[in-house]
A and B are shown apart, each in its own frame.
Chain A
Amino acid sequence: MKIDLLKMVENGGCSAKISPVQLEEMLKFLPLPEDPNILVNIDTRDDAGVYKVNEQLALVFTTDFFPPVCSDPYEFGQIAAANSISDVYAMGGTPVIALNIMMFPSAKLPVEAYGDILKGGSDKASEAGTRIIGGHTIDDFTPKYGLAVIGYIHPDKIITNSGAKPGDCLILTKPLGTGVILAGQRLNIAADSDVNEALRLMKLLNKSGAEVMVKYNIRGATDITGFGLAGHSLKMAKASSVSITLNMNRVPLIGNTYALIDQGCIPGAAFRNLDYAEKDTVFDPDLDYNLKMAAFDAQTSGGLLISVPGRKEKELLLELKNSGLTSSAVIGNVSDFNGKALLLI
């Protein structure tokens, strides 16, 4: 029997994230632990926490897990692992060890699927140079998988959401559209070539992007996942106390993403993200509606959004493209805070 994980879920991947509005409401009541060795916590809306061990070493610690984004268990394992590890890369760290987190409906899925998901995760972790040294499984429907990852980083070289400076250029390293294409796939209106390209991009590690960032001493970056390009840009703008302008005409989209949105294929997560970002965002009157919604499309294992200072964007772009992130593009810029954190043009 061919296993199809997609038959089991309504919202796969990062679309399954809780609404950012709700999340911020709930986290308000959670006290933040105080410790001088905590270098990065949730306060800066960052991708991972960072804890200083000594003057040369800090640990980047993150976790992420979600329901299936594709039919094939092995491929799902790869994507979930790439997505989990991405948070370490987004902060400029090197992933070192990880634990599996798995929810698996043992009564509804054959045990081979379980093995295939873990194999996918393990292979992707190996590609990232990360050792999976344990894990935990709960019997639960629907299936969910991801990793908790620890990475190394130098305490003075942490790349955060709060490191964007006025005058910086913004580079995005992967095209947008995974949410739209996966929704289109469920409705049988997405082209196979687009689905395959989306899968390839979701499996693609942000490793080489992180290496380029470290080489150029980048201080501000994030990875684009469930809150969409606009949502994560907004978090970065707020954490950095700046305004960010995104030129949506310059943002690369996967294959026929635009045409799918034009047909009305706009996943619910995009509306949720729009609700979250709207009050802090100015939309240019000329902004195309479909491009606007593309900005809010929830990405799974999306690219890095890098804030590049000192007019180095052309050099970085070249290196990123040469490293396999061929769709990298300059898509916006950072300016002094002008009353609204985000401007979409």
Chain B
Amino acid sequence: MRIVDTKGQQCPAPIIATKRTLKEAKKGETFLVLTDNRTSLNNLIRFLKDNKTEFSVEEAGDIWTLRITKKTAEVQQTEAEKYCNTDIPHFTQGNFIIVFSSDKMGEGDEELGHLLMTNFIKAIKDLESLPKTMVFYNNGVKLGSVDSTVSEHLKEIEKMGVGLLFCATCVKYYSIEEKIKTGSLSNMYEIAQVMASAAHIIKP
């Protein structure tokens, strides 16, 4: 087992050594990090927790031993409930997604843009096959707000089995966390993943 001895070293040296070993280690490999400095220990613990790394600490005398196990990048678990609240399960879904980067449709008059977008979202329900996922980012997230003219329609579409992903960064940026009652908040990794794996992307 690898042992990273950082006794006598001060921050950030122990973190640098730990990070290097984490990079070198194979998946599932366990290694030890030794430190005799309480501040270094605290900072190491903080660093490992923030990076979601599995570890335990043992204390013996004036020396702490961190037992660290390398796991690969966390795989996003599919939430069962996302698929369980589908009241009407027999809608067909195509291998396409719809991306909303704005709360308006097309260039031109703002009012008209809003109206068109409302009509577009209403029309989705009547499509022969539904989108797999609808992704909302930047101004698009405002469509999901309870104040929006389409929030009820979005709820219905979600019940039909369509995943709604709202960019968490955007929702926070516009301070509307409290107002998003449908779909789920998502990160850019997931959004990029959904976009990359779709056969077609529709952008109204």
Contacts and interface: CB of A to CB of B under 8 A. Distances in A.
B173 A267 contact: no
Interface string A28-52: 0000000000000000000000000
B118 interface: no
A55 B112 CA distance: 55
Interface residues of B, number: 27
A285 B168 contact: yes
Interface residues of chain B: helix, strand, loop or mixed (majority) = helix
Interface string A280-300: 001011100100100000000
A187 B16 contact: yes
A36 B172 CA distance: 41
B26 interface: no
Interface stretch (B38-46, B99-107, B128-136): B38-46
A268 interface: yes
A14 B43 CA distance: 19
A264 B18 contact: yes
A266 B43 contact: yes
B83 interface: no
Interface string B3-37: 00000001111011111100000000000000000
B129 to A, nearest CB: 31
Contacts of B50: 289, 292
Nearest to A283: B50
Contacts of A10: 10
A263 interface: yes
A128 interface: no
A251 interface: no
A267 B11 CA distance: 6
Interface extent on A, as a size class? 20 to 34
A274 interface: yes
B188 interface: yes
B172 A266 contact: no
B92 interface: no
Contacts of B40: 268
12 contacts: A10-B10, A187-B16, A264-B15, A264-B18, A264-B19, A265-B12, A267-B11, A271-B43, A274-B46, A284-B168, A335-B175, A345-B173
Given A264-B12, A271-B11, A343-B172, 20 more contacts: A183-B11, A183-B12, A187-B12, A245-B173, A263-B16, A263-B20, A264-B16, A264-B19, A264-B20, A265-B12, A265-B15, A265-B16, A267-B12, A268-B40, A282-B172, A284-B168, A284-B169, A284-B172, A292-B50, A345-B172
Interface of A: 10, 183, 187, 189, 243, 245, 263-268, 271, 274, 282, 284-286, 289, 292, 335, 338, 343, 345
Interface of B: 10-13, 15-20, 39-40, 42-43, 46-47, 50-51, 168-169, 172-173, 175, 185, 187-189
